[in-house]
Amino acid sequence: MINKVMLFISMDLTHKSMFKRVLNAWNSRDPGHFLKIVSDYIVYQHAGSDYMIIRGKEDLKSYLTNLWKAIPNLKFDFFNSAWNEPVFFVEWNAEGNLVGRRYDTVGNNTPIKFSGVAVIILNKDGIVLEQRTYFNDVEIVKQVRDTANMMKSD
Digit-coded pLDDT (tens) for 80-125: 888 888 899 999 999 999 998 888 788 889 999 999 999 999 988 8
Q: Is the pLDDT score of 12 beyond 70?
A: no
User: DSSP assignment, residue 71?
Assistant: S
Phi, then psi, of 118 in degrees rounded to 5:
-125, 140
Distance in angstroms (rounded) separating the CA atoms of residues 79 and 23: 10
Note the pLDDT tens digit of each residue in 18-39: 888 999 999 999 999 999 999 9
Residue with more model confidence, 108 or 7: 108
- Look at the chain and report how many structural domains it folds into: 1
Q: Cα(16)–Cα(6) distance, rounded to whole angstroms?
A: 15
**Which residues lie below 8 Å from residue 146, measured CB to CB, with a gap of 6+?**
none
Indicate whether this model's pTM tops 0.85. Answer: no
The answer to whether residues 129 and 122 touch, using CB atoms and an 8 Å cutoff, is yes
Q: Give me the pLDDT at residue 11, please.
A: 44
Domain housing 135: 2-153
Identify the CATH number of the domain in which residue 138 sits. Answer: 3.10.450.50
Q: How confident is the model at residue 5, as a pLDDT?
A: 38
Question: What element of type H or E holds 75?
Answer: strand 75-84
Which residues, 6 or more positions from 97, have their beta carbon under 8 angstroms from its beta carbon?
71, 72, 73, 107, 109, 110, 111, 112
| Alpha-carbon distances, residue 32 vs 61, 64, 82, 143, 149 (angstroms) | 8, 10, 26, 30, 37
Summarised one tens digit per residue, pLDDT across range 59-83 is 999 999 999 999 999 999 998 888 8
Q: Which residues contact 5 (CB under 8 A, 6 or more apart)?
A: none
> Of residues 152 and 69, which shows the higher confidence score?
69
